[in-house]
């Protein structure tokens, strides 16, 4: 079975540009999570979807960040406009049952904002 | 709020030897889940092992096993017969088990190097 798929694996952009990160969760999973990993702050939860509905977006840093899940097999995380401090690795993870199951992570997208 | 502490920023072990990574956590809950994730240089986060707090038996997955001490709030990972492919960052994580719980709280990680 395919795991969580993320694209692109690497993204280099210039400050002020729009960045869109994509995620395809494991088929059948109904929960999806976006995380950000930095050296300073470690792994942080940005947003959590259950059955395509955003449940908790309290971790989203600011209005420049937005996330959508139009269907059960696709989610996007958008940063507009991007800033150098957004440089990080962004992970998408999914799980089948939010209360008992394990979160499976994608390979991550390394974002560099110049 | 729960906290997870990994007190060993870096460790090294000779190939084929055994190494133990430490993790402690703080919670007032009686039931919860604990995880160890591995992040190799490829940066993929890979689940290594999972433990449910209500189970007294320590979880085991091949060469990986845990020592879960609930009273001490300790959850260490033992890697036996270390292999070069075990070189990675290892993260300990905590999750509540109550209804609506989903938040994973991660430790800062331990960088493990397996030396040939």
Q: Indicate whether B101 pLDDT > 80.
A: no
Give me the residues paired with residue A91 across strands.
Answer: A35
Chain B residue numbers touching A103 (CB-CB < 8 A): 104
- The mean pLDDT of A4-27, rounded to a whole number, is 96
**B99 reaches A (C-beta below 8 A):** yes
Of B23, B43, B88, which to mutate for an interface test with A (greatest number of A Cβ within 10 Å)?
B43
**B1 reaches A (C-beta below 8 A):** no
Predicted pLDDT at A10: 96
Of A43, A99, A108, Cβ closest to residue B44: A108
| Local structure of A22: helix, strand or coil | strand
Distance CA B67, CA B58 (A): 6
Spatial neighbors of A98 by CB under 8 A, at least 6 apart, are A30, A31, A50, B100, B101, B102
- The mean pLDDT of A22-32, rounded to a whole number, is 94
| Local structure of B89: helix, strand or coil | strand
Q: Indicate whether B103 pLDDT > 90.
A: no
Average pLDDT, chain A: 93
Of B44, B98, B108, Cβ closest to residue A105: B44
pLDDT digits (tens, 9 = 90+) for B12-29: 999 999 999 999 999 998
Chain B residue numbers touching A106 (CB-CB < 8 A): 44
Instruction: Find the range with the poorest average confidence among A56-65, A98-107, B14-23.
Output: A98-107
**A98 reaches B (C-beta below 8 A):** yes
Spatial neighbors of B77 by CB under 8 A, at least 6 apart, are B20, B21, B23, B36, B48, B49, B64, B65, B66, B90, B92
Give the residue with greater pLDDT, B98 vs A60.
Answer: A60
**A42 reaches B (C-beta below 8 A):** yes
**Which tokens hold the place of A31?**
């929960």
Placement of tokens 């209005």 in the chain? A63
Of B45, B100, B107, Cβ closest to residue A105: B45
- The mean pLDDT of A22-49, rounded to a whole number, is 94
**B25 reaches A (C-beta below 8 A):** no
- The mean pLDDT of A56-63, rounded to a whole number, is 90
């Amino acid at each position: 079975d395919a795991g969580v798929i993320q694209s692109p694996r690497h993204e280099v952009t210039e400050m002020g540009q729009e960045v869109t990160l994509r995620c395809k969760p494991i088929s059948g999973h109904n929960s999806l999570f976006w995380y950000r990993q930095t050296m300073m702050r470690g792994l942080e939860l940005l947003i959590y979807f259950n059955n395509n509905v955003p449940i908790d977006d309290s971790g989203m840093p600011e209005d420049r960040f937005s996330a959508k899940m139009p269907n059960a097999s696709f989610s996007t995380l958008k940063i507009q406009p991007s800033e150098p401090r957004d440089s990080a690795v962004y992970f998408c993870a999914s799980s089948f049952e939010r209360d008992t199951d394990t979160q499976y992570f994608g390979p991550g997208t390394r974002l560099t904002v110049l | 709020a729960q906290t997870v502490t990994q007190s060993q920023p870096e460790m090294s072990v000779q190939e084929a030897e055994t190494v133990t990574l430490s993790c402690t956590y703080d919670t007032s809950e009686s039931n919860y889940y604990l995880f160890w994730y591995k992040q190799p240089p490829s940066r993929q986060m890979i689940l290594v092992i999972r433990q449910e707090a209500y189970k007294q038996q320590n979880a085991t997955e091949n060469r990986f096993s845990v020592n879960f001490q609930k009273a001490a709030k300790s959850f260490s990972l033992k890697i036996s017969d270390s292999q070069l492919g075990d070189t990675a960052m290892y993260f300990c994580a905590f999750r509540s088990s109550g209804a609506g719980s989903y938040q994973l709280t991660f430790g800062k990680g331990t960088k493990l190097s397996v030396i040939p």
